[in-house]
Amino acid sequence: MSTAKKFAGQTAIYGISTIASRTLNFFLTSVYTRTYSRNIYGIFGSMFAYASMLQALLAFGMETTFFRYLNKHEDKKQQVYNNSFAAVFTTTLIFLAATLPFVNQITHYLKIEKTTSFLDYRLYVVYFISFLVIDAWCVVPFAKVRADGRPGRYGFIKLANVITFIGLNIIFIYIIPFYTRHNFAGSAFINSWFRPGWLGYIFLSNLVASSLTLLLLLPEVLKLTFDFNTDMFKNMFAYSLPILVANFSYIINENLDKMLLGKMLPNAISSEQVGIYTACAKISIFLSIFVQAFRLGAEPFFFSHAKNKNSGQTYARIMDYFVIAVCLAFVGISANINLLKYFIGSSYWIGLNVVPLLLFGYVSLGIYMNLSVWYKLSDQTKYGLYISGIGAVLTIVLLILFIPKYSYMAAAWVSVISYAAMMVLSYVWGQKNYPIPYNLKKNGAYIISSILIVYLSFYVFNRNIFAGNLLLLLFILATIYFEGKDLKAIFSKR
């Protein structure tokens, strides 16, 4: 079986679980935007933006480091596992020490919506601190599941997490209110503690789902021992620190917009604007899913094939077909926005213009993730720090300059600019330090073509679903015409 075919198979397996999990989660957006006002949903968007940032900090870049050191020290896999988990566990202890004594102060800072009580906000913060720590403890055991080549187990646990989260949401939002409205047995007791429409049940559901995930990962957790290697840990720390900063910078690019929208806009509209932007951004989740599935399959694959003689050609070939796939997804989602918009409440449609911009941001991010193989394989992770750091600085400066005037449209444009800059920088520095023979003309042609088609579909034809899908069909036919022969060859046995 060809290496590209093997890679595609691994990515597909991880992709199925990722797509299923993220798609199921996406349907909750439809529930939330029809249950909560834009102001209340803005709290959700703002809180999860902070949570995403902290998740990157607590994971400490150890997922990538774990894979790299398994490849470097095949005779010391247990020590690599122990050291990786110890690093994450230590960061969570520091995090707890830095947050629990200051919950009130943190709550005052995060509160952006006037009508929600301080006590409710405080409880939200406690829930978030709890599930962030539990999620961090799951990072390295999850990486071990992937390293052991068990995508089925990985997918099962991910789906169990999502089904639990969704199930509890449905119970709190629909089933319990239905039950009590009809005065079934025990309704009086339920009414004594249940609060219809309380946002906190979302966060409580997340805490329960995270706890279940840790429980399911106990077989991996119990394989930890106290066999550490101090010198290895120091080297892992040095390797991981730039990745931590790079990941943190990526999370800044993804979430700082929601945080600053809540802080920089007038109090009367800030929460509502965050709610609109968060809801419309969810439509771009389908392209985000593809990028995430690619990363899950790519990282262990790239490391395991680094020593192969023709690894550069393999990476370049994977890039070719990644670009084609991500551009097709970009065009396809943009062509069907007038259908996808029904997954969110109609009061949020005012923000749909951000979707094509956010989609192309994910195109750029996906290509950047593909390109980033060079500094990970050559142990030059400092470049990841430089690239994502520049992206983060661009994000921060441009958001501060333009959010007050352009609100969430500024956030969408900044996302595109930042990820595109990171993509270009990674390519330029990568070709100088770890050359890989990417087909720049071919990939560039697909990217530019997809941008033009999306522009026509969204702006010239005003999101007309028939015109958009006709353009999509023409794009698919052109791709088949130019790539059909190579596509058959790359996935054939040899």
Question: Over the chain (494 residues), what is each successive 10-residue block's mean pLDDT?
Answer: 53 61 75 90 86 83 84 83 91 94 91 82 93 94 87 85 93 94 92 92 94 96 88 83 73 83 86 91 82 65 62 80 90 92 90 94 89 79 83 92 94 93 92 88 94 93 93 93 71 51
- Residue (of 104, 402, 457, 454) closest to 264 by Cα position: 402
- Domain hosting 74: range is 3-490
Across the chain, which distance is largest between two alpha carbons, in Å?
71
User: In angstroms, rounded to a whole number, what is the distance separating the alpha carbons of residues 10 and 293?
Assistant: 10
Angle between helices 3-35 and 311-335 (to 10 degrees): 30
Q: Which helix (H) or strand (E) holds 25?
A: helix 3-35
User: In angstroms, rounded to a whole number, what is the distance separating the alpha carbons of residues 403 and 408?
Assistant: 7
Where residue 93 falls (left for φ over 0; alpha for ψ -120 to 50; beta otherwise) is alpha
User: In angstroms, rounded to a whole number, what is the distance separating the alpha carbons of residues 147 and 411?
Assistant: 36
Sign of CA dihedral 277, 282, 287, 291: positive
Query: Is the distance from CB of 240 to CB of 382 less than 8 angstroms?
Result: no
User: In angstroms, rounded to a whole number, what is the distance separating the alpha carbons of residues 444 and 280?
Assistant: 28
pLDDT at 267: 81
Chain centroid offset of residue 431 CA: 27
Query: Is the distance from CB of 234 to CB of 376 less than 8 angstroms?
Result: no
- Residue (of 210, 268, 382, 220) closest to 38 by Cα position: 268
Q: Give the CA count within 13 Å in the CB-facing half-sphere of 254.
A: 24
Burial of residue 441 (CB within 10 Å: 0-12, 13-18, 19+) is exposed
**279 CB neighbour count, 10 Å cutoff:** 28
Length of the chain: 494
How far from 114 is each of 3, 40, 43, 121, 170, CA to CA, in Å?
56, 10, 11, 11, 27
In the block, tokens 């989260």 appear at 165
Q: Give the CA count within 13 Å in the CB-facing half-sphere of 256.
A: 21
Chain centroid offset of residue 50 CA: 13
Query: Is the distance from CB of 430 to CB of 375 less than 8 angstroms?
Result: yes
- Residue (of 311, 299, 309, 255) closest to 281 by Cα position: 255
Query: Is the distance from CB of 229 to CB of 84 less than 8 angstroms?
Result: no
The total domain count for the chain is 1
User: In angstroms, rounded to a whole number, what is the distance separating the alpha carbons of residues 190 and 179?
Assistant: 9
Query: What pTM, to 2 d.p., does this model score?
Result: 0.76
Cα Rg, the chain, nearest whole Å: 23
User: In angstroms, rounded to a whole number, what is the distance separating the alpha carbons of residues 26 and 37?
Assistant: 18
User: In angstroms, rounded to a whole number, what is the distance separating the alpha carbons of residues 95 and 208?
Assistant: 20
In the block, tokens 């093997």 appear at 6
User: In angstroms, rounded to a whole number, what is the distance separating the alpha carbons of residues 368 and 153?
Assistant: 28
pLDDT at 494: 46
| Long-range CB pairs of 443-449, under 8 A, 24+ apart, other chains included | 443/319, 443/320, 443/323, 443/367, 446/323, 446/324, 446/327, 446/479, 447/323, 447/327, 447/363, 449/327, 449/475
